[in-house]
Amino acid sequence: MKKWYLFVLSALLVVVLAACGDDKETSGDSKDIKLGATAGPYSDMLKKAIIPQLEEKGYTVELTEFSDYVQPNVALDNGDIDANLFQHTIYLENFEEQNDMDLEALIIVPTAPMGFFSNNLTSVEDIKEGAAIAIANDPSNAARTLSTLAKQGLIEISPDVEELKASEKDIVKNDLNLVFHPVEAASLPRQIDSVNISSVPGNFALAAGLDLMDALFLEDMPDQYRNVVAVKADNKDTQLAKDLIEIVESAKFEETIDADFQGFGKPEWMVNR
């Protein structure tokens, strides 16, 4: 009888401990989260347009700001942060491949476009023959520049070339004999005083204190170059991932963008809804 009593007691103890374990696992669905972004407009976007709504949903959010474009993905892959906002899809996919990571873009957000700035021109019609244009010397930003100039009717690019891979050698028509001056992308804001037009990527424009609305014209960027909220692929179906998507799709998010991020180009899903 004593053995039977001890057996029953042990069995009950196992059940109780298992139940406690289940309770712990359920309550361990922590809403203490960490987000990451590069310092600047996308850190501001998290602070103003995303984190307040996360807090309304009961999350406690810690924001980490990074000074380069490598560590935010390393931290995400390591689990040091739960999501980040700083990169476009093409960069994300290349980074994954080069570093053997499995990350996931949840949703595209409004993004600062490339701005074409001038101190001596006020419209596209003012551009004269032989005008000097400073462009980035890296292939990605150079292609974006040429594509935008083509859309403005200033040059024509060979139809045999992919828009996002065009280079100067692919220009088939340049009636104004525009002269291109390739330089490091980060130095493009400083070129505004020395050329007729400087094509400045949005992040460098904002970092230099330029107002996107002062640009001669802005890039109509493809969605592949708009920034995304990213998570580890294993976490793409978590409640946090669902909440982040819901917040970015909300009217309140777009209202904040319209008020505080003027000039940022909206993704197709936002424009067409």
pLDDT score recorded for residue 164: 83
What is the maximal distance between C-alpha atoms in the chain? 105
Other CB atoms within 10 A of residue 245 CB: 14
Instruction: Please determine, for residue 216, whether its predicted confidence score (pLDDT) is greater than 90.
Output: yes
212, 264 contact by CB (below 8 A): yes
pLDDT score recorded for residue 249: 98
pLDDT score recorded for residue 9: 42
Between residues 24 and 146, the one the model is more confident about: 146
Q: What is the DSSP string of the chain?
A: -HHHHHHHHHHHHHHHHHHHHHHHHHHT---EEEEEEETTHHHHHIIIIIHHHHHHTT-EEEEEEESSSSHHHHHHHHTSSSEEEEEEHHHHHHHHHHHT--EEEEEE--BPPPEEE-SS-SSGGGPPTT-EEEEESSHHHHHHHHHHHHHTTS-EE-TTS-GGG--GGGEEE-TT--EEEEE-GGGGGGGTTTSSEEEE-HHHHHHTT--GGGSSEE----GGGSEEEEEEGGGTTSHHHHHHHHHHTSHHHHHHHHHH-TTPBPPHHHH--
- Quote the percentage of the chain above a pLDDT of 90: 83
- 217 forms beta bridges with 116
Going along the chain from its start, the domains and CATH numbers come out as: 32-111+224-271 (3.40.190.10), 115-220 (3.40.190.10)
Cα–chain center distance at 169: 29
- 168 forms beta bridges with none
Q: Which tens digits make up the pLDDT trace of 154-207?
A: 999 999 999 888 999 999 999 999 999 999 999 999 999 999 999 999 989 998
137, 183 contact by CB (below 8 A): yes
167, 152 contact by CB (below 8 A): no
Under the banding of pLDDT at 50, 70 and 90, the label for residue 29 is low
